[in-house]
Amino acid sequence: MSPSSVVRQLREHIDELSSSIVAQEAVLHNLRTQRGEARRKLNRFLDPMARLPFEIQSHILLSVDLDSEPPRPDSHAPPMVLTNVCWLWRDIALATPKLWDALLLDLPRGPQYAEFCKLWLSRACSQSLSLKLSGSLKLQGDIQELVTTYRNQIENLSFTALSPYSLEVPCMVFYLDPRFPLSSLKTLSFEADEDADFSTMSRWLGVLRAAPALASLTMRNMSFLVGYGELPPRTLTLPSLEVLHVGQPYRFAVYRKDGSTAVVLQYLTLPALKTLNVSDVDISKQEFVSFLSRSSPSLESFHLTIPHDWSVNAMSQLLRPVPSLSFLELSSDSGLTAFLPSIEALSTSDVLPNLRQLTFNTNGYVSIAHYGKVLSMLTFRCTSCPTRLDSFVLNLPSEESEDHAHDLPAAEVRAALRRLVDDGLNIHIGPRSENLL
């Protein structure tokens, strides 16, 4: 036999063996598939959970007790833990978008972290997303790209700058590009441990303009840079915003910087506003009143840290544009003296006729003489107003506070206050944990 014939026969034999191997591998794969299916049937027979329909199992996984914070993208996060229980739970978890619709990002981190976050959010499919960025918020390109990529799905977005990174916050707003609409955004929060620059007012308003469906806005310890020759921004109307929290300033004087956050009220019109919380007032009384008059909101709840120098007339002008208000909470560290203009304003029938709950928070001294004015105001609100007051709370400093010393009402005033209680008015006077009445 010639060498060429031998070579040909060997090659043909090798081809036959290769074909047999492929056939045997197909048989082996089929047997393994049958074995896996048999095991699944056995598990479903032995495990009641496995016999439940997929949709019910998915619903059970969603009932896992998640923390109030969004999960961090690591192996300890509840969604990741579920994927490591068994292959069945892994398949269900990966096929349940609701498990992957929230994420807490601790920054700064490397590129692999951003890639894992993208993988996480991709499992949410078309679900609305909740994202919280925390730590150093100096602009990180891959994270900015992540926010931009999912901008149309983000419903809740929070930025928290933590010390010692707070000085890097000027880049925080640049995670949001006004050129890209945030069409689904409902809740937006910016907070910093210390007062921080926040770009310019124009750019900030541009971000808000890109979020027409925004319903809740929180800004803590924010300040705004004011550029030389910069024209005042145009007033922006946010038709859906119902909740606004601004304030908690960290005061320090820096040239060309605004002192705190309430300055934003000068440039907003909020006709749908229901809840307003302002813990610093760095605008004039006229500008504040102009904001309320311009917005004409059906405001229901108002929390205000009152300036020390506001008069009775100032408080009356501030409160008259919001007759729908039912809950008013005022705070001051100057004792009850700071509330006297408000007490006098509330003793007239044309100021907050629908008020039901009134709260004063003070960290200062309360004189015995002040309680008589409080009693007169409460009596008026309970007997001469269209809507009767339901609750009055005067929160005094606790004993642990350095300014906890305060007088109690005189005996006759206490007796009159108790008669109001007997008539249905809920009254609390004292530290939050103790009613001294």
Gyration radius from the chain CA atoms: 32
- Burial class from Cβ neighbours inside 10 Å (0-12, 13-18, 19+) for residue 143 reads buried
Query: What average pLDDT is seen over the chain?
Result: 80
- Nearest one of 333, 379, 384 to 360, comparing CA atoms: 333
Q: Which two tokens stand for residue 49?
A: 């959970």
User: Encoding tokens for residue 250?
Assistant: 């960290």
Query: Could you tell me how many helices (H) and strands (E) the chain has, helices first?
Result: 13, 14
Angle at 403 between CA 319 and CA 335, to 5 degrees: 25
Mean pLDDT value across residues 176-182: 77
Q: How confident is the model at residue 409 (pLDDT cuts 50, 70, 90)?
A: confident
Separation of CA 240 from chain center: 16
| Cβ-proximal residues to 389 (8 Å cutoff; 6+ apart), any chain | 355, 356, 357, 358, 378, 381, 382, 425
- The answer on pLDDT for 4 being more than 60 is yes
Report the share of the chain in percent with pLDDT over 90: 21
Give the number of other Cβ atoms within 10 Å of residue 371's Cβ: 21
Determine contact, residues 332/305, Cβ cutoff 8 Å: yes
pLDDT above 70 (res 261): no
Q: Considering only CA atoms, which of 236, 242, 285 is closest in space to residue 264?
A: 236
Q: Which residue has the higher pLDDT, 195 or 421?
A: 421
pLDDT classification of 153: cutoffs 50, 70, 90: very high
Q: Averaged over 188-204, what is the pLDDT? A: 72
Closest CA to 202 of 242, 177, 231: 231
Q: Give the pLDDT of residue 250.
A: 43
Give 277-295 pLDDT, tens digit per residue. Answer: 998 777 788 888 899 999 9
Mean pLDDT for the stretch of residues 85-100: 79
- pLDDT for 327 equals 96
pLDDT of residue 262: 72
Beta strands in 141-296 (DSSP E): 154-161, 187-196, 216-222, 236-237, 243-247, 268-269, 275-278
Strands (E), 59-145: 102-107, 129-135
**Among all chains, which residue has been given the structure tokens 């990002």?**
105
Q: How far apart are CA 38 and CA 223, in angstroms?
A: 65
Tokens of 254: 């820096």
User: How far apart are alpha carbons 238 and 204 in whole angstroms?
Assistant: 13
Cβ atoms of residues 282 and 257 within 8 Å: no
On whether the CB atoms of residues 214 and 185 are closer than 8 A, the answer is yes
Indicate the fold that domain 299-437 takes in CATH. Answer: 3.80.10
pLDDT value at residue 217: 94
Most confident of 96-105, 141-150, 288-297: 288-297
Residues 208-243 pLDDT 10s:
888 889 999 998 877 766 555 566 677 889 999 999
Q: According to the model, what pLDDT value does residue 302 have?
A: 95
pLDDT value, residue 79: 80
CB 238 within 8 A of CB 176: no
- At residue 259, the pLDDT reads 46
- Residues 121 and 130 sit within 8 Å (Cβ to Cβ): no
Domain boundaries, the chain: 299-437
State residue 340's pLDDT score.
Answer: 85
Cα–Cα distance measured from residue 33 to residue 46, given in angstroms and rounded to the nearest whole number: 20
Rounded to an integer, the average pLDDT of 364-368 is 74
Q: What is the pLDDT of residues 40-79, one digit of tens each?
A: 777 666 555 555 555 655 555 566 655 567 888 887 887 8
pLDDT of the residue at 47: 59
Residue 431 has what pLDDT? Answer: 84
More confident residue, 212 or 192: 212
Q: Is 60 exceeded by the pLDDT of residue 14?
A: yes
Least confident of 227-236, 255-264, 272-281: 255-264
pLDDT of residue 349: 82
pLDDT of residue 422: 92
Please enumerate in sequence order all residues whose Cβ is within 8 A of that of 103, keeping only pairs 6 or more positions apart, or say none: 70, 71, 72, 73, 117, 120, 121, 129, 130, 131, 132
Q: What is the rounded average pLDDT of the residues 254-266?
A: 60
Top pLDDT among 192 and 320 is at 320
**pTM (whole model) above 0.75:** yes
Look at residue 365 and tell me whether its pLDDT is greater than 90: no
- Mean pLDDT, range 294-322, rounded to an integer: 86
Asked if residue 144 lies in contact with residue 120, where contact means CB atoms within 8 angstroms, the answer is no
* Structure confidence at residue 253 as a pLDDT band (50, 70, 90): very low
